[in-house]
Structure 1
Amino acid sequence: MKKNVELKNATVQVNNGFDELKTILDHVTLDIYEGDFLTILGGNGAGKSTLFNVIAGTLMLTSGSISIMGEDVTHLPAEKRAKYLARVFQDPKMGTAPRMTVAENLLVAKYRGQRRGLVSRKIHAHRDEFQSLIEKIGNGIEKHLDTPTGLLSGGQRQALSLLMATIKRPELLLLDEHTAALDPKTSLSLMNLTDQFVTGDKLTALMITHHMEDALKYGNRLIVMKDGQIIQDLAADEKAEMTITDYYSIFE
């Protein structure tokens, strides 16, 4: 099976301000295969966001290595890794440009990673395609193709961020607690949409979640992190046998 991402002994140490080194990612070795949908659980400070940041290149490793699609990207900055990755953040405001319309945001996402010269945007050529895309979402956004994104609800903006992240198929989709800022009903509908996108298009995805129920329900692998280390890596069949009580016991 093809490996999309490979981390070997990935370690990050930071100075805690008292001239002491603190290890926030501790010799993590992880293989992510094509089509994997990994859910990641862990308490605050477990290393979940650090793991995402070292994969995305916004935080460099102190030691160890990381490859994406067979390329060693250990020393490559985030912009050089952008051709492989798409990320949806916790804050609905982070994934979209508020003054640009829904259609304009989608056009930018469609050409992500490509060189763009000073040519006219030709947005009209993509209108039908973008309209049919937003109709898949079904949360009212289908009436807002020409609306500035800043005027949308949080749930609509997150759904648009997800659409933008997947419009050009990424080698790895990073879902960084992307439902955490939403109310329970909106969160549920966004998770259903996420699962439809990831499993339907056989995307490779990592999802950080604080919801035990989501960790149980979604994905084919579950990673549990604690103190900067992976303490559990459960396959789909092992995950299926676990209850929420079992999950709580892992953290005790």
Structure 2
Amino acid sequence: MKKIVELKKATVQVNNGFDEVKAILDDVNLDIYEHDFLTILGGNGAGKSTLFNVIAGTLLLTSGTISILGEDVTHLPAEKRAKYLARVFQDPKMGTAPRMTVAENLLIAKDRGQKRPFSPRNIQAHKEEFINLLTRTGNGLDQHLETPTGLLSGGQRQALSLLMATLKRPELLLLDEHTAALDPKTSVSLMQLTDEFVREDRLTALMITHHMEDALKHGNRLIVMKEGKIVKDLNQAEKSQMQIADYYQFFE
């Protein structure tokens, strides 16, 4: 099976301001395979965001290595890893350009990773493709092709962020608590859309969530983190045997 990401003894240490060194990621070994959909659970300070930042390259390892598709990217900055990754953040404002229209945002996503020579945007040529894409969200985005993104609702904007992240199929999709800032109904709707995209487009995805129900329902693997370590890595069969009450025991 094709290995997308491999972390070996991945460690990040920081000085806590009292001349004490603390490991916020502690000797983590993790293999992510093609078509894996991993959900990550853990309390505050467990190391979930650190793991994401290490994979994305926004935080470099103190020791250990990380490879993406067999390439050692341990010392490569985020911009050098962007060709492999797409990320949807918790804040709906972070994934889109507010003053640009929905169509303009999609056009930027369509050209991600490519050289962009000065040329007419020619959005009209992509109009039908973009409307078909936006219709998949089921939340009226297809009626807002020419609307500045800053005028959309949070749910619409986050759905657009998801579309932009997956428009050019990434090797790894990072979902960073991407439903946390939404109301419960919108959160459920976006999670269903996410699951549909991951399954139908056969994406490899890594999702941080605080919702026990989402961790139980979605994905084929569950990782539980505590104090910078992976304390559980459950496969589909092991996940299916668990109840929500079992999850809470991990945090006691």
> In which range does the TM-score fall when normalised by the shorter chain?
over 0.9
Alignment of 1:1-252 (within 5 A): 1-252=1-252
Hey, what's the Cα distance between the residues in 1 that align with 2:195 and 2:115? 31
Alpha-carbon deviations, 1:84-143, whole Å to 9, x = none? 000000000000000000000000001111111112212111111001100111101111
Deviations 1:8-54 (A, max 9, x none): 00000011122221110000000000000000000000000000000
Following TM superposition, the consecutive aligned residue runs of length 4 or more in structure 1 with deviations greater than 3 angstroms are: none
TM-score, with structure 2 as normaliser: 0.99
Distance 1:79 1:26 in 2: 25
Structure 1, gaps ≥5 residues long = none
How many Å separate the matches in 2 of 1:107 and 1:205?
Answer: 23
Whole-Å separation in 2 of the counterparts to 1:8 and 1:127: 45
User: Partner of 1:251: helix, strand, or coil?
Assistant: coil
Letter in 1 for 2:72: D
Distance in 2 (alpha carbons) for counterparts of 1:202 and 1:128: 24
CA distance in 1, matches of 2:117, 2:146: 24
Secondary structure of the residue aligned to 2:174 is strand
Whole-angstrom distance in 2 between the partners of 1:158 and 1:150? 11
The Cα RMSD (Å) is 0.5
For residues 44-91 of structure 1, the C-alpha deviation after alignment (integer angstroms, 9 at most, x for no partner) is 000000000000000000000000011100000000000000000000
> Partners in 1 of 2:36 and 2:101 — Cα distance?
33
* Structure 2: gaps spanning 5 or more residues: none
* Inter-partner Cα distance in structure 1 for 2:52 and 2:4: 15
SS in 1 for 2:126: helix
